[in-house]
A and B are shown apart, each in its own frame.
Chain A
Amino acid sequence: AQKVTQAQTEISVVEKEDVTLDCVYETRDTTYYLFWYKQPPSGELVFLIRRNSFDEQNEISGRYSWNFQKSTSSFNFTITASQVVDSAVYFCALIGGSNYQLIWGAGTKLIIKP
């Protein structure tokens, strides 16, 4: 069975703090893909990153960085120097094997206070 767990339901930090959102996944597939999406209050799910299971290099994009560790089945997301505009619900998702259906985590609501 495939599963994505985002144990942090809600995180609240003050602007400019760094924050890490955790994502732990389960799959028996050797080939799989991991995703992060951002959902601001407007509702649209914004694609942030996609990672395949054979690429364990960490990714950095501006203030965003992702740490993929197969040994712990985790794909964590860090925002450096957070800003109020980062406030949103963040979802981690998985596609495994030949299945094209996204398996979604429950989401983490991130609140950045000014």
Chain B
Amino acid sequence: ETGVTQTPRHLVMGMTNKKSLKCEQHLGHNAMYWYKQSAKKPLELMFVYNFKEQTENNSVPSRFSPECPNSSHLFLHLHTLQPEDSALYLCASSQGVSGSQAETQYFGPGTRLLVL
């Protein structure tokens, strides 16, 4: 089974729609991350969860709402998005979020989102 899976792989939505992105990791990790990758911009960390608790919210607009029901699943709920939110959304997981030793992050295939 692939380590980190994401669904859907592609999503087109209108600005008034509500949709959710799903991420699942099969690596037994405890930390999960959402990243946004826009064209010609560096990867942006959006949210971090460690043992289901949110530990980081990098000033992300409230139209993005994460949910982490358990250590294996992570969701990103989307509502009233803007066209500039069109991007590749990547999920990642790592063993933990450690201050003493950096943990390698493993990524899913991403969801390509287009907001019309």
Q: Chain A interface (Cβ within 8 Å of chain B)?
A: 32-33, 35, 37, 42-47, 50, 52, 91, 95, 98-102, 104-106
Contact = CB atoms under 8 A, between A and B. Distances in A.
A106 B42 contact: yes
Contacts of A45: 90, 92, 107
Size category of the B interface is 20 to 34
Interface of B: 42-43, 45, 48, 56, 88, 90, 92, 97-100, 102-110, 112
Interface of B is mostly: loop
Given A100-B99, A102-B45, A104-B42, A44 B110 contact: yes
A108 to B, nearest CB: 13
A47 B110 contact: no
Nearest to B99: A98
